[in-house]
Structure 1
């Protein structure tokens, strides 16, 4: 028998016959054409060979056969991957992986392998079928696999988490019937959750969190009856939670937080999920009451439904959840009492109910929860006493009961809680003496009891708590001396005792407490001198001893406080000269209202960081040092009510940041106003009154940003400058200048004449008559409002005020009005002037006084109320919160939360409050990451106004000055003074036809259609945002005079891009300095988004929701983003604190502890609020 015919067709190793054909990925040696077709399965026997003689030479056919056999023996075997591998390779071809991440991982996926079982991320069973595909935290860049049908019957685990996948979830995934685990989390997936996915009957774990999925949770989710783990948090899901969720009897984890569009109640059917251990719905629109059926969750360990719209009572049935360890229901609208049944939760460790509307007493049954480590019931309306039973909690570490209406004493039994690190009982009505045994509280680091009615002395036993870092007993009725032993605490960084009745000297032992960072003793009756030992406090940053009875000099040793930034000694009886040398680090110096005398040292100009200098109401003499012109960051200078003589130094005109106030009043200054003062083009308030100045006022005509000016009682002469500001200036601010001519110089309404005493009498008579008329009108309006039952409270301050507060604030209009002085101006703009107001009750507000305008028909008042009605309901993490408003005739005030880090403009360009100090210190201004976060936050805010508010809102004045920065430099969009609410009848979805002519903007940020037609739409906000984004990227102001040819920023960028020049040349040098290649790539993409936003035609600009999507496409934040990233993670903590262990957050330090008046433990940094 001869051999069968030789075959050159290669079969894959270990492959079954039906997989023998070559896919495109296989590259075997090319066979000859005669062997291209596959051989028959069984070859027929060859014909018999003819007989040959021994001498006969082998024939040609035999030689060819021998040669082929030799080639087959020597050639390497040919490999070709099986059908499942081919499907995976087809998906690989659709990806664009990064070389260092996904590219390296997928390098092991080779077509020459027989099976994919040894490929990275692939697992097979014993038969060689793929059962798991698991790839995490690498950059694959591409779509989800839609062509894995060959794996459908075997694939049990599909994990593609953090792989930068895009597009929709393919509907084909519903056909992978063997799947038990599906994890597509932390990608950039869009679209809806396909209902077909709910056909996966064997699915046990489904993770779709941290994407951009939209639409509702499918009602079919209830079909996944094997499901134990479901995470949907940090998406853009909307609609209600389906009641079918109750069918998931095996479900253990349900987390859907961070979906703000999710609405409606928590369905009672949730009680059917009997195995549930984790329920997370934080940062959603979930509303209504907690259902009683929540008590059926006998295995639940964590309930995290914070920062939602929950209301109603906490059900008594919560006491049946006996496995509960963490209950997070803070920042809701829950009402009623805290149920006593909570005392049945023996395993409870963390109880966070702060910022609700809870009333009644703290249940003493809490003392039964022996495992409790953290209790935060702050910002409610709780009454009664602090239960002594809390002293029976051996593991308690943090007790936070701030801002309630608690009475009685601080229970001494708390001394038994030896694990306590944090006691916060401030802002209550507690009384009596502090009788805690601090020697037992050796772990205590923070003790806040400020703003109560405590009496007695500051406990000397505080020195027995060696771990203490912060003590705040301010705003009480404490008496006696400051204990000397207190300064033996080596870890003490903050000591705040302001506004008490403390007396006696400041102990010289203060110099021993070298860890002190913040010391506030103001508002007491302290006497004696300032001890020179204070100069040994090298870490001291903030020192306030104002409003006491201190005498003697300011010690020269204070220059040793090398870190001091804030020095406030005003309203004492200090004497002598100001020290020749003060710390160069000082940003604010206030020694006003003392008895300081002598000349001012030229060294006053050697404080490069100085922003505010208050020296008024002293006895200082000599000339004003021209060296003050070296303080380039100076924003406010008050030298009023002294005995300075000589002329005004021209150097003051070169202070580029002097924009709040310059007060030189009530001195003995002579000469003319130097022409250099015309350079103070940012100045808002100027007071030169009661001096001996002469000459013309013409140098002041160039001060275009002046809000107030007083030049009365000097010797000025000549004609008043012909500007609108001077034409409207009150005569009282010009009085006492005998030779000053008042008039606009025109032939239409000439008012030439000197301001004499007779004319003043006429003016005063007219004012008296007007006052009488106003009084009658006010009485009539008050009666009318009372009859009509108006919408707000009526508080008597200056006239009759209509007041509406959206948050509980213990303030009066008299408190607010006293703060509306030129010294408190922190910003001016097109819609009004903003003041920083510290009220006697400890609140710090940003109060915007709207510019008044003639309004004979009341239209402006109606528009004001329309705006307020909408803005009061806004709730977004990137929009500054409106706290309330007040109106009195033509005067309209807005109350906002005060933010400590200034504005984005200050951060980028300097001169903007605290944030302005950031450039050059390696702060957020220097890094792309923080700037990107600011840009994305502002985009979210504008998109919220356009697309989530019903009716929608146009902001109308988006600019960097209106982006304020919070404690962690998070952005807050502010100043809605130019905003306009769309008609309630209009759809919340915009169209090009919705326009208005009633919104203005700020020059440099206004869209071209407003300049040409004075008509704008929502696309005008998009244009303004684009300018802000360019400002972030380039570091240049839109009207930067350094731009070539005086071009606008938009034109400069547009010409650069159209000229196809290097985009890197546009970027801020601070960004380029530390940028990685990935940063540079992201910045170029962001530049493209900005250019798109500032398109000339409004129709060519994207909607704001699309701008948000484009920015998110550039980069996903590390860790997944918003609150839902960890359903149990508070959002008001600064990032360092918020990053607590998952599911076990620390309670946030509320805003009351970050602003000057609201908490005495605040940092002092004036925000550059724009108006």
Structure 2
């Protein structure tokens, strides 16, 4: 027995050993097979990605896909996410890279079989959606938003059983929505908006109970919405189908989707009545059924509004532009107190506005315009403290505009036009300082307009007071509305002269003042309305001649001066060149003009001619004598001071400039030096905008000296002396000066300068509006400023160092020509010092502005032209990067110069440096095709986009070379100007798209 047991034990041990061998063998083989399989899958993914890359970039520069090469494992490529083992690609996240604009999606994407996320949105991709996407069984998210994909939605997407997010928004897809998409049982988000899809919504979609968000808006879908089997959406929160061609009635079964929060059916062809069971939507926040054919125009159309009072979370109700009729129900006042947007305009709703409307305390926009409402505006409107937009236009409302409306301090848009309101505009509207658009036209309002009231609306864009019965002088304080674009005051009873101050509203495009009782002349200052497009002054009592300044308005396309008492010659240039663009009928004493208008020629009296000739002769004689006297004084002065630095005594300060004006003239010109006329403020002076009537260029800048500052007199003298010695097209011109006392007996000194309508370069570089400088404009400005420095340093009798060159001191005129200003810190260097390139004496005080001042000045170094060149270099770098030298980005020894110098070593870094607005100009450039370029002995193909980029790089190189820390190593100003001219030449060639060109940048 023992032997048997021992033998069995040996057999068992042998069996265990053999089993172990087999297990180890199988395990080894299995592991080898798995490793081989994994290795093969990894290689498949790598090859698939490389093929995908070639299609995505469309043969262009790799750009963001630069890292997609064999120097890195593909798991480290940009936008790639791998599994934990680093073997398989599970995420392709390339959204928003704007890859090439001509790329496509390769079918090889179907080989990335482990993908769970595909995001190729915002890349301007073309071509079809590959059917191979249907092979990605594990895919959960597919986002192809904002491309240019076309063709049909492939039905193979129905194989993506794990998909829970599908977004194909904003492409050019067409055809029908595949019925097979109803197989995506896990789908939660379906977005197909903004395509060209047609047909109906497949019934299978209605059965996807997992759906939470559906957006099919802005397509060409049609048919009725009611599904045969009803809606099976148990979790649906958002349903957007607006902007299609659906017809029929709104299904009552919609109310069964109890989870619905947003229902948007706007801009379709729905008709009939609105179901009155919508109150079942307990979570409803938005209901938009506007721009349909709902309602019958009869009583009872608004019965559904009462049911909506149960929707306590309702924030947005839009039923405007339909056919709803009947009386506005009182239940409107019982809608959710959370409601913010209430649009009911453009219907046939009658009755009065309920007093309870004041219950809607959170309403932000209230639109009841274009209905048949009667009665008065309820005083409870004062409770709507958050109201921003209030539209009651084109109704039959009566009574006065309630003074309580002045409590709405946030009111920005007020439309009361086309009613029967009477009385005066309530002065309480003065509190609505945020007003952008105010339209009170087409009523029976009367009385005088208060200057205080009109002057309060300083943010107005549109003011329409036309077709009322206003009287008195039109308020000149309208000039405080600096952003005003449209002003309509026509068909009233305004009297007096037209305020010339209107010319200060530089943004004004439409000015209609016809049908009033205005008299006097047309203000010549209207020649400064550079943006004006339509000007109507007809049917008034205007007299005298037509100002020739009107023919200089570049955008004026409609001018009506008919039925006045104008006389004299009709101009022949500008708008007066085209008879279809101006009208002067009803003025009996006009003559001349273009032949097409067929009025008598002008004949000048011979005696008048002789008088004029005699007057001209006298003026010329006096002028010549004055110039000779002035030259004698200058020559004497130069001889006295030729070999020493200029130090101007106070007694000579005011004689340095031109003829004088009085304190009172400047006080009147600047509206009492009012804050509304303030242009800028510094340590030594304050600058105001003013109008000096009777001068050749009436709109001026008045620089008032701050005599409380001990350095102001010296700064003032330096500026006067510097400007006396120089004349250049890119310098701000001195018009006149004033040295007097004010009405309190205090000393008063001021310089009157040429006004620059486009403000400072600083304003444009740090502009939050839609207006931005193009690269061509930056080049012109850079050359203009460089020419000024070249003139100051080399072409003046003694070299002049500006010492405070920065964007705020570069001003732009009507034509965007740059002018350098503010010579308050300038130094006039003697002949000997000029030859050495610096001022002989230095100061412990650093003069200039932090960030722009040369480093050597901080160490007590002398003022020199090279200091200006440093400031110029920093100015160029700020122009191309959009970053100030004092930006928070620059700290711990970093600077704008180093930032740009480092970036020149890498194209990727350069794209981080260049201002995004300029980068956008590259992307918007239509020429993407290669061009033949001849560089030395080589011919190469390069795209217009690359050429523009080379221009940017060359511009940065000039800025860096000028702002080198060591003065002697800085680029000479003449070389800088030469380099910028070369850049301009190349840039203008590529903008004009020549077939061939030669590089000049090297």
What's the TM-score once normalised by structure 2's chain length? 0.55
Would the alpha carbon gap of residues 334 and 575 (structure 1) be closer, same or farther in structure 2, given more than 3 Å must change? closer
1:752 is matched with 600
Contact kept in structure 2, 1:457 and 1:478, CA below 8 Å: no
How far apart in 2 are the matches of 1:661 and 1:280? Answer: 45
1:351 to 196, 209, 214: 214
1:819 is matched with none
Query: 1:602-651 CA distances to partner (integer Å, 9 max, x unpaired)?
Result: 22223222232222211222222333333333332222212222222333
| 1:1044 partnered with 2:907 | no
Query: 1:107-145 CA distances to partner (integer Å, 9 max, x unpaired)?
Result: xxxxxxxxxxxxxxxxxxxxxxxxxxxxxxxxxxxxxxx
Contact kept in structure 1, 2:885 and 2:896, CA below 8 Å: no
Contact kept in structure 1, 2:216 and 2:242, CA below 8 Å: yes
| 1:1059 partnered with 2:908 | no
1:580 is matched with 427
1:1156 is matched with none
2:292 to 406, 428, 440: 428
> Once the 2 structures are TM-superposed, how far is the Cα of residue 718 of structure 1 from its aligned partner?
1.0
Would the alpha carbon gap of residues 479 and 288 (structure 1) be closer, same or farther in structure 2, given more than 3 Å must change? closer
2:181 to 315, 318, 326: 318
Query: 1:332-373 CA distances to partner (integer Å, 9 max, x unpaired)?
Result: 333332222224433233233223332333334461232323
How far apart in 2 are the matches of 1:721 and 1:252? Answer: 72
Q: Show the 5 A alignment for 1:475-490.
A: 475-487=321-333, 489-490=336-337
Contact kept in structure 1, 2:173 and 2:195, CA below 8 Å: yes
Contact kept in structure 1, 2:270 and 2:293, CA below 8 Å: yes
2:143 to 258, 263, 280: 280
| 1:508 partnered with 2:355 | yes
How far apart in 1 are the matches of 2:122 and 2:582? Answer: 57
1:395 is matched with 259
| 1:373 partnered with 2:237 | yes
How far apart in 2 are the matches of 1:428 and 1:1031? Answer: 53
2:945 is matched with 1104
1:681 is matched with 530
Would the alpha carbon gap of residues 337 and 454 (structure 1) be closer, same or farther in structure 2, given more than 3 Å must change? farther
Would the alpha carbon gap of residues 357 and 478 (structure 1) be closer, same or farther in structure 2, given more than 3 Å must change? closer
Listed as ranges, the gaps of 5+ residues in structure 1 are 1-151, 157-168, 175-186, 212-223, 435-452, 756-908, 913-918, 935-958, 964-1000, 1009-1029, 1047-1051, 1115-1171
Query: 1:36-66 CA distances to partner (integer Å, 9 max, x unpaired)?
Result: xxxxxxxxxxxxxxxxxxxxxxxxxxxxxxx
Would the alpha carbon gap of residues 524 and 234 (structure 1) be closer, same or farther in structure 2, given more than 3 Å must change? closer
> Once the 2 structures are TM-superposed, how far is the Cα of residue 720 of structure 1 from its aligned partner?
1.0
> Once the 2 structures are TM-superposed, how far is the Cα of residue 697 of structure 1 from its aligned partner?
0.7
- SS, match of residue 535 in structure 1: helix
Would the alpha carbon gap of residues 737 and 960 (structure 1) be closer, same or farther in structure 2, given more than 3 Å must change? same
- SS, match of residue 1043 in structure 1: strand
How far apart in 2 are the matches of 1:511 and 1:417? Answer: 25
> Once the 2 structures are TM-superposed, how far is the Cα of residue 689 of structure 1 from its aligned partner?
1.2
Contact kept in structure 1, 2:134 and 2:159, CA below 8 Å: yes
2:79 is matched with 209
1:696 to 545, 558, 571: 545
2:561 to 711, 723, 731: 711
Contact kept in structure 2, 1:313 and 1:336, CA below 8 Å: yes
Contact kept in structure 2, 1:1031 and 1:1037, CA below 8 Å: no
- SS, match of residue 576 in structure 2: helix
Would the alpha carbon gap of residues 725 and 544 (structure 1) be closer, same or farther in structure 2, given more than 3 Å must change? same
Q: Show the 5 A alignment for 1:3-82.
A: none
1:666 to 499, 515, 531: 515
> Once the 2 structures are TM-superposed, how far is the Cα of residue 229 of structure 1 from its aligned partner?
4.2
1:547 is matched with 394
Query: 1:755-778 CA distances to partner (integer Å, 9 max, x unpaired)?
Result: 9xxxxxxxxxxxxxxxxxxxxxxx
| 1:465 partnered with 2:329 | no
How far apart in 1 are the matches of 2:384 and 2:258? Answer: 37
How far apart in 2 are the matches of 1:910 and 1:399? Answer: 49
Query: 1:1087-1107 CA distances to partner (integer Å, 9 max, x unpaired)?
Result: 86799999xx99899833676
| 1:517 partnered with 2:364 | yes
1:651 to 495, 498, 501: 501
2:223 to 352, 355, 360: 360
> Once the 2 structures are TM-superposed, how far is the Cα of residue 286 of structure 1 from its aligned partner?
3.8
Aligned residues: 642
Would the alpha carbon gap of residues 682 and 347 (structure 1) be closer, same or farther in structure 2, given more than 3 Å must change? closer
Q: Show the 5 A alignment for 1:284-295.
A: 284-295=147-158
Would the alpha carbon gap of residues 1070 and 503 (structure 1) be closer, same or farther in structure 2, given more than 3 Å must change? farther
Contact kept in structure 2, 1:279 and 1:302, CA below 8 Å: yes
Query: 1:221-257 CA distances to partner (integer Å, 9 max, x unpaired)?
Result: xxx9955444444442765544454455544444444
- SS, match of residue 578 in structure 1: coil
> Once the 2 structures are TM-superposed, how far is the Cα of residue 584 of structure 1 from its aligned partner?
2.6
Contact kept in structure 2, 1:364 and 1:388, CA below 8 Å: no
Would the alpha carbon gap of residues 250 and 1063 (structure 1) be closer, same or farther in structure 2, given more than 3 Å must change? same
Query: 1:174-213 CA distances to partner (integer Å, 9 max, x unpaired)?
Result: 9xxxxxxxxxxxx97544844898xx8xx9x7874289xx
How far apart in 1 are the matches of 2:87 and 2:159? Answer: 19
> Once the 2 structures are TM-superposed, how far is the Cα of residue 567 of structure 1 from its aligned partner?
1.8
1:840 is matched with none
TM-align CA RMSD? 5.2
1:614 is matched with 464
Would the alpha carbon gap of residues 539 and 642 (structure 1) be closer, same or farther in structure 2, given more than 3 Å must change? same
Contact kept in structure 1, 2:810 and 2:819, CA below 8 Å: no
How far apart in 1 are the matches of 2:447 and 2:270? Answer: 51
How far apart in 1 are the matches of 2:818 and 2:71? Answer: 59
Would the alpha carbon gap of residues 486 and 1037 (structure 1) be closer, same or farther in structure 2, given more than 3 Å must change? farther
Would the alpha carbon gap of residues 572 and 317 (structure 1) be closer, same or farther in structure 2, given more than 3 Å must change? closer
> Once the 2 structures are TM-superposed, how far is the Cα of residue 684 of structure 1 from its aligned partner?
1.8
Would the alpha carbon gap of residues 712 and 605 (structure 1) be closer, same or farther in structure 2, given more than 3 Å must change? same
Contact kept in structure 1, 2:278 and 2:307, CA below 8 Å: no
- SS, match of residue 598 in structure 1: strand
> Once the 2 structures are TM-superposed, how far is the Cα of residue 458 of structure 1 from its aligned partner?
7.3
Would the alpha carbon gap of residues 294 and 538 (structure 1) be closer, same or farther in structure 2, given more than 3 Å must change? closer
Would the alpha carbon gap of residues 1063 and 515 (structure 1) be closer, same or farther in structure 2, given more than 3 Å must change? farther
Contact kept in structure 1, 2:239 and 2:263, CA below 8 Å: yes
How far apart in 2 are the matches of 1:276 and 1:1003? Answer: 48
Would the alpha carbon gap of residues 295 and 962 (structure 1) be closer, same or farther in structure 2, given more than 3 Å must change? same
How far apart in 2 are the matches of 1:535 and 1:344? Answer: 49
Would the alpha carbon gap of residues 1032 and 193 (structure 1) be closer, same or farther in structure 2, given more than 3 Å must change? farther
Contact kept in structure 2, 1:206 and 1:230, CA below 8 Å: no
Would the alpha carbon gap of residues 357 and 1042 (structure 1) be closer, same or farther in structure 2, given more than 3 Å must change? same
- SS, match of residue 1059 in structure 1: helix
How far apart in 1 are the matches of 2:593 and 2:778? Answer: 30
| 1:558 partnered with 2:402 | no
Contact kept in structure 2, 1:1004 and 1:1039, CA below 8 Å: no
- SS, match of residue 870 in structure 2: coil
Contact kept in structure 1, 2:67 and 2:77, CA below 8 Å: no
Query: 1:95-115 CA distances to partner (integer Å, 9 max, x unpaired)?
Result: xxxxxxxxxxxxxxxxxxxxx
Listed as ranges, the gaps of 5+ residues in structure 2 are 1-34, 40-44, 51-61, 604-755, 784-805, 823-851, 853-864, 901-909, 923-930, 936-941, 956-1002
Contact kept in structure 2, 1:462 and 1:486, CA below 8 Å: no
- Relative to its length, the structure with more helix (as a share) is 2
- SS, match of residue 322 in structure 1: coil
| 1:494 partnered with 2:341 | yes
Contact kept in structure 2, 1:331 and 1:355, CA below 8 Å: yes
Contact kept in structure 2, 1:586 and 1:610, CA below 8 Å: yes
